[in-house]
Structure 1
Amino acid sequence: MANQMTATVEGKELILERVFKAPSKLVFQAFSDAEHLKRWWGPRGWDLTVCTVDFRPGGVWHYCMKCMDPNQGDFFGMESWGKAIYEDMVEAKKIVYVDYFSDAEGSTVEGMPSSHITMTFIEQDGATKLISRARYESEEALRKVIEMGMEQGVTETWDRLAEHLASQQ
């Protein structure tokens, strides 16, 4: 893909950047609306089987990604639950939330790292530069999610987002 994601680690912060060929309003909607998220969130071979979004400060996004690809071996059939609690948002400009690993009931999973994420959407000639800054409690917590393959997962997820955005224009 032409617009590859870049990843930079600064202490206990992971900074991801990528340019999407879509206006910032649409990219923002793709992150804030459940109907959009259901179409692209998750790495290849994973579907969002549960997705509820209460997009307001203090609101919760709760979701389940399920591996639907039998070619992914032991991952096939696996579920991965997550929860975000929104703190702030500015239409087409910014989303701030705390991201957690969760269970089906929405309880956070003990021992798994959470992150404080600020996503910035910058309009550039009809395209959008997305900058995601994820701050972890410690460098060790960040290292743990990187070792879990989070960077590859986000790369595939954002590739799917680019495809989804192209289909919406």
Structure 2
Amino acid sequence: MTLRIVRRFSNMPLFGEAIREQFVERVQQEHTCWSVETADPSMNASKNVKKSCAVLIPLVNIRDKPCMLFTQRALILRNYRGAVCFPGGHLEPNECPEQGALRESFEEIGLHHEKVNVWGKLRPVYNSHLKCQVTPVVGMIKEDDLKKLKAEFNEVRSVFVVSVGELCSNKSYTKFKFG
């Protein structure tokens, strides 16, 4: 599998121990569930949750640039076909978000759990369409491990990496106004 890197530029610091420590400190201060639709941290959506999910937000330094790994969902899937997302899915009974995110990452792209340095989890986000609470789990992977990834084509169409600089660039996104 060939891994594609989207626009390699950034003056951001590399992901490392100092960034990890700042992340852990900030995460410990926040515990609220957000709604995807309202982005309202005061909304406690847990009463509507039918299932729990987790995704892995894989961080990786590539050629001295901090990057994030994404997947594109297979076009044959019923929900969110072709969508760009992080690897992840539904939690099994008695499975914590970290375990679920790592299991799903292995199933979808062949990323072995021992290759991920889990930094922690972010506050859950509620998806009212799926009636699902999604917990993002942040983890660091090594550039060398990217070569070993193998997409499960029944679930994942492609795997790619985007630099944080590109994600933060004003030219990379569009604002929509409704009404």
- Using the size of structure 2 for normalisation, the TM-score is 0.26
- Using the size of structure 1 for normalisation, the TM-score is 0.27
Higher relative contact order (CA 8 A, sep 6+): 2
> Which structure carries more helix by proportion?
1
